[in-house]
Chain A
Amino acid sequence: MTIQEKQDEIIEEFELFGDWMEKYEHIIQLGKELPLIDEIYKTDDNLIRGCQSRVWLHAEARDGRLFFTADSDAVITKGLVGMVIRVLSGHTPKEITDADVYFIDAIGLKSHLSSTRSNGLFSMLKQIKLYALAYQAKSLT
């Protein structure tokens, strides 16, 4: 599936839910499906700033594609991280840096998330894109 198809899939999933509590239940469920980061990578270097809760993110390259694992101490954050990783993990660095991530707006999440939460989410997106950029730069040299 392309990044776009994955996003559309998530948007469709969220259309099934009537109220916000159900949406949150789903977000929390997605957090449980998050590919968990290995404990050895839970270091300060892998910590993403800009969030009240802590998020650790680790990137690994296999066959020219980037795979992400992560964790958070807050379950809603973990769900949000899970969604972003589901969308972007397993793609090439170029696909990741070029990706237009629109699903957060489309499921109406942005207007519902507190600004600290969405700032955190966007700093994570930025970090993922930075990993992809760095990997691209490295493979060019």
Chain B
Amino acid sequence: MSDTVTIKRKRGLDIMKVREDFPILRTTVFGHPLVYLDNAATTQKPLAVLEAQDRYYTTINSNVHRGVHFLSQQATEAYEPGRKKIAAFIHARHTHEIIFTKGTTESINLVASSFGRKFLQKGDAILVTAMEHHSNIVPWQMICEERGALLKVIPVNEKGELVLDELDGLLKERVKLVALNYISNALGTVNPVREVLRAAHGMGIPVLLDAAQAIQHTEIDVQELDVDFLAFSAHKIYGPTGFGVLYGKEEWLNQLPPYQGGGEMIKTVSFEKTVYNDLPYKFEAGTPDMAGSVGLGAALDYIQSLGMDNIRTYEHELMAYALDALRGIDGLRLIGEARERAGVLSFLVGSIHPFDLGEILDKQGIAVRTGHHCAQPIMDQYCIPGTVRASLAFYNTKSEIDALVTGIHKAIQLLG
């Protein structure tokens, strides 16, 4: 096994072969081969994931944990290894620090609700950044409103980088938790999370990382980062939709009250008193998404068979190629010019509306996203209604970037 890994790492990725693992990439759109550049919204699924889920439903499906019968035990044995794989993937100390959720959004809502109810008092604050996705703003706003707390914001400069000079001052304002994205979905900025963690921890403040756009692009070691909470979605890392993860340090998770009540999350229930279950089940009320765990487990196996470092090296090269190519287009303006970037290219061309540009690209088979990318505050800061966003995955090729450039030129001809 280790020999094959070494060989693969030496060789790097054979992209054309990798593409064969993703059946959807053979699609044609309006007579053109699909160029899928909307990976920040969701990634495509390799056969390994599709087959694992299919196998689960065809041969194992049954409710987990409580069943005495054969299938239920099989299902539990298929379901729980997913948790182990995820723990290993992000280097968690304990498997029970992995909480299964519906996705990043639910993971953040869980922490906002449970942490907020336990620790937020009137006049306290939660600190976010000006480039958060709505799902890392609104849950905090809701709990702050409920608890009489304030939402404070780390500003972002013109280049789309955090203004860290203001961090220490902001942290002193009764901040109880810092919540920020690792990589911005709207700008592609890779945030200096280590510096934020150091500063926050220096004052005993925990940090939640929204890793929705990072988990698929960069290796994450939660122990080395020493991050307190980390949230991500399976569907952005080549796994199924509707499934996600909250990692939390055991000592934090043990202090938080449950998020939702129901089956699974209890030890004993009587009308007088309910005793909650241990981690991770305390936070997993109701029948879980069994196939989701199986699917994400298969996705992580698949990614590791390619090699996370191979993926990072290739994506880095592709990003550099794409940046060069886009900068060569007259009138194209990148939104977000952070020194460290990954995954996402946000841009505008001349005075062309992003919606128009997106539509003309679509007619050429090129899938991009247009709009505010659920990050209205940062769009407001740039005084723009939105951008065109091309987002990359390891199955994208340089010739697809060339197709994007040709597509943009054609759109300029038509719209400019």
Contacts and interface: CB of A to CB of B under 8 A. Distances in A.
Interface of A: 20-21, 24-25, 28, 52-54, 73-77, 112-114, 116-117
Interface in B396-410: 410
A27 to B, nearest CB: 10
B325 interface: no
Contacts of A25: 414
A52 B371 contact: yes
A52 B360 contact: no
Main secondary structure of the interface of B (DSSP, over half): helix
Given A24-B360, A112-B363, A74 B353 contact: yes
A114 B371 CA distance: 13
B415 interface: yes
Contacts of B242: none
A28 B415 CA distance: 8
Interface in B332-383: 352-356, 358-360, 362-363, 370-371
Nearest to B410: A21
Contacts of A52: 354-355, 370-371, 385-386
Interface of B: 30, 352-356, 358-360, 362-363, 370-371, 385-386, 410, 414-415
Given A20-B30, A21-B410, A52-B370, A76 B363 contact: no
A115 to B, nearest CB: 11
A20 B385 CA distance: 27
Nearest to B353: A74
Contacts of A24: 360, 363, 414
Contacts of B370: 52
Nearest to A20: B363
Contacts of B414: 21, 24-25, 28
Main secondary structure of the interface of A (DSSP, over half): helix
A52 B389 CA distance: 14
B359 A114 contact: yes
Given A28-B415, A52-B370, A75 B363 contact: no
A114 B360 CA distance: 11
A21 B363 contact: yes
A116 B355 CA distance: 10
B359 A117 contact: yes
A33 B353 CA distance: 19
The 3 A-B pairs with the shortest beta carbon distances in the complex, nearest first, are A74-B353, A52-B355, A53-B355
A112 to B, nearest CB: 7
Given A24-B414, A25-B414, A28-B414, A74 B363 contact: no
Given A28-B415, A52-B370, A74 B410 contact: no
B269 to A, nearest CB: 45
Given A20-B30, A21-B414, A52-B370, A74 B356 contact: yes
Contacts of B356: 53, 74-77
B400 to A, nearest CB: 20
B371 to A, nearest CB: 5
